[in-house]
Amino acid sequence: MPEKLIFADADFDYHTSRFVLFGVPYDRTSSFRYGSRMAPNEIRKASYNFEAYSMNDDVDLKTVGMHDAGDIDCEANLEGVHASVMDVVSSVIGDARLPLMLGGEHSITAPAVSAMGPLGDIGVIVLDAHMDLRDEYLGERWGHACTSRRVVETTGVERYVSIGIRSASKEETEFAAREDLHFYTVDDVRSMGVSRILSECFEHIEVDRIYLSVDMDVLDPSFAPAVGNPEPFGLTSSEVRDFIRALSPHLVGFDLVEVAPEYDCGETALLAASLLRGLVSARCSERAGSR
Ligand code: MN
Ligand code: MN
């Protein structure tokens, strides 16, 4: 392992990279289990478990141009951290690279999506057990439980879909119904399958440039026990992998959030690292429709 901990095979320098990975070790709006500030480095460590070569995609991750830019300084308050997220995402997309953001908790998605403004119309797809549509939670409008509400205010309901939902407050359910917000439950995923849901998503969103946010609690806790707010009856690791891989070629931005590493023996960070590596290899693969 190199001296400075970086994600495996992300040792290209910024100027020659296609993918820019960075961590946001921030968890101060968490509401049940803290510790997602440890996730970026735990996911980096876990990434060394895997082969650089993807047999699925016939892609060698050593050659694809990943740069690990390290972590954003999260000493500031929420506003300051969100401002830094916006700055980093703006410059990465300004340089025509794909930002891959590792949380931290889910509040960081809203500023990342705001930073996508210069790209024009984009769609946002969120994989999450929770709606995250509260207007405020514990007196905070920009916390993790409000992140999708802030995103929808940026994109409009016509460019937003969430998948894997199985928990919401009455207020959020009413908001979703009133605004005709598109979301799919876990049961919808089971009955429709990943590809039918994604074709409906593209029909709804009408643009094929997508920001994808993966809240790891979308997974069933048997696959990802170490998350901030575990919610039983979730998606399988294969379903989440299939969503990420199918969306990969369309992505303009990506984040993976809410891993709280202390709550398992490392398997959630391993899964997170593997999902991220699958995203990158799927995007670089020349095998059409590879799985
Ligand atoms: Mn969330
Ligand atoms: Mn969640």
pLDDT tens for the chain, 291 residues: list them: 456 899 999 999 999 999 999 999 999 888 888 899 999 999 999 999 999 999 999 999 999 999 999 999 999 999 999 999 999 999 999 999 999 999 999 999 999 999 999 999 999 999 999 999 999 998 999 999 999 999 999 999 999 999 999 999 999 999 999 999 999 999 999 999 999 999 999 999 999 999 999 999 999 999 999 999 999 999 999 999 999 999 999 999 999 999 999 999 999 999 999 999 999 999 999 876 544
Note whether 45 and 54 are within 8 A (CB): no
What pLDDT, on the 0 to 100 scale, is given for residue 2? 52
For ligand 2, the distance from its centroid to the CA atom of residue 91, given in whole angstroms, is 28
Closest of 12, 102, 99, 6 to residue 48, by C-alpha: 6
Note whether 59 and 106 are within 8 A (CB): no
Render pLDDT for 14-35 as a digit per residue (tens, 0 to 9): 999 999 999 999 998 888 888 9
For ligand 2, the distance from its centroid to the CA atom of residue 129, given in whole angstroms, is 5
Ligand number nearest CA of 217 is 2
Ligand number nearest CA of 107 is 1
Instruction: Name 60's bridge partners.
Output: 53
For residue 158, which amino acid is it?
E
For ligand 1, the distance from its centroid to the CA atom of residue 161, given in whole angstroms, is 13
What pLDDT, on the 0 to 100 scale, is given for residue 185? 98
Burial level of 4, CB count in 10 A (0-12/13-18/19+)?
Answer: exposed
Ligand number nearest CA of 105 is 1
This model's pTM is above 0.95: yes
Render pLDDT for 87-133 as a digit per residue (tens, 0 to 9): 999 999 999 999 999 999 999 999 999 999 999 999 999 999 999 99
Ligand number nearest CA of 133 is 1
